[in-house]
Chain A
Amino acid sequence: MITATDLTLTFGKGTPLENPALRGMSLTVNQGEFVTVIGSNGAGKSTFLNALAGEVMVDSGQIIVDNQNVTKLPTYKRAGSVARVFQDPLAGTCEGLTIEENLALAIKRGQRRGLSAAVKARYLDQFKTSLTSLNLGLENRLGDKMGLLSGGQRQAVSLLMASLTPSAILLLDEHTAALDPKTASFVLDLTTQIIEEQKLTALMVTHSMKQALEVGDRTVMLHQGQVVFDIAGKDREGLEVKDLLELFEKQRGLEITDDSLLLG
């Protein structure tokens, strides 16, 4: 469970490029909930995720993950409870390391690392079983360098790495945006499958309104660093993109001009 209360964050404070990214943003995500997050460019989606992960520090407000106040903690101290998949397929894995080494890094996420061998024999079965579930034939390529894999394969492995150890929250930052449509839908299916199987609490940022309504069980829209609406349950069922747009206009008296949101 995560509770973000009244987060504010301004980039380049006191300079001509001052840019308020979060303006009093609050959101509570309950245990086992899968929330999709939408919003136009500059709405604060990525900043919000980065704030939850600790990559950026908020100016004010409070972030509580599983009853622990993590507001001031750096990324690596939050990693035990926060798992992430990035937008860039190259960002979530190390291309110079082998598949098994990448997985071995992930299996120790948020734990103390010692001087024993990183890739242990007892991990290999688990690695193979999880890789088999991807249906990409990667279970026979444990010793291959990550750089030999395609973007889609790497994103699938990133997803696996994020779910290898339990975490309080899984953050997905437009993790299918850089993939071709077919691979994107494969990775998205895999995402929903893993989240359902492991009953993960997840927050997925997406640029596509359609996707935001199709997957997950709650949708939140951000605008100018705040939550403009938040729908779940019955209200969300059967909702279509045009309903979402009407909702948005009613709430804000604004028209959405960002084409990518409509086309996605």
Chain B
Amino acid sequence: MLSNIAFYGAIETGLIYGLVAFGIYISFRVLDFPDLTVDGSFPLGAAVAAVLIIEGVNPWLATGAAVIAGMGAGAVTALLNVKLNILNLLASILTMIALYSVNLRIMGRPNIALLTEETVLTPWYDLGLAYHQVPVLLFVLVVLVSLVLLWRFMKSETGLAMRATGANPRMARAQGIATGAMIVLGVALSNGLVGLAGALFAQSQGAADVTMGVGVIVIGLASLIGGEAVLTPSTVFRALVACVIGAIVYRLAIALALNADFLGLQAQDLNLITAVLVTLAIVLPGVRTSVAARLTRKKA
């Protein structure tokens, strides 16, 4: 079974990917905007935070700068789509590719170690908790605050306008909603959350790496879809809670798969396992209903 450290490690990463899932919920679900920018904005957040931290900037300020950088990346994708009429998916791929170069420029090298630096986690180690529990505590707080703020926002006049923009753009325009502006705001917000996740990930893992964004979109989607399978997202609040649950369940499933010796899986199999899990998460709810339908049909 899972060791204590592996368990807390899975929860810790799960919480960070919960933030990514929030972002993906905004783009994929609220706005119906398939956005792959996150593969670039995740390492962007990490890069910005890492560079500022080694420059001696306060780690919370550095994390805030990472959020703003992520929002900027999202705004670029949205503007490519809204102003230049580039297909949303393609627009996000363009930004993602561009960000690879931008991230290398920001860091000046492929990776930056933060092991000896003061991070947002440093003061929390004095609380007397076990070493592997500290990040979990801090990230639970960050995720809870983000969840409540995001939930309140989605219930606000502007948030409702954003939800209408994704659900029925023609109706939204007829109600006087500037749908283009809503897409820019939403995609920016989404990538701001992903930038935050990247900054926290770099600080808890002790390094920022230019390749750390590969597959973030798939893991985020896996969390989102998995969470929706566990908890039906009938309200915004449930959908947001589902994001966090999905992300944690996903990381636990990965940790279990890698730890189960009889499966013979190793760390390099991670992406394969991810792809299989995402496929299962997408297909299983459908299988469940079709099996149920077949069973009831037989009874009748």
Contacts and interface: CB of A to CB of B under 8 A. Distances in A.
- The answer to whether A and B assemble together is yes
B176 A108 contact: yes
A101 B160 contact: yes
Interface residues of B, number: 22
A119 B154 CA distance: 11
Contact of A76 (B153, B156, B167, B173): B173
Contacts of A119: 155
Contacts of B168: 91, 93-95
B238 interface: no
A199 B187 CA distance: 42
Contacts of B159: 118
Contact of B175 (A77, A96, A105, A116): A105
B163 A96 contact: yes
Interface in B133-163: 153, 155-161, 163
Given A94-B164, A96-B167, A108 B155 contact: no
B161 A113 contact: yes
Contacts of B172: 76, 105
A109 interface: yes
B105 interface: no
B179 A76 contact: yes
Considering the complex of A and B, which 6 residue pairs feature the smallest CB-CB distances, nearest first? A79-B176, A113-B157, A118-B160, A110-B176, A75-B173, A94-B167
Interface of B: 153, 155-161, 163-164, 167-168, 170-179
29 contacts: A55-B173, A74-B173, A79-B174, A79-B175, A79-B177, A84-B174, A86-B170, A86-B171, A86-B174, A91-B168, A91-B170, A94-B171, A95-B168, A96-B163, A101-B160, A105-B160, A105-B161, A105-B172, A105-B177, A108-B157, A109-B176, A113-B161, A115-B158, A116-B156, A117-B155, A118-B159, A118-B160, A119-B155, A161-B175
Interface of A: 53, 55, 74-77, 79-80, 83-84, 86, 91-97, 101, 104-106, 108-111, 113-119, 161
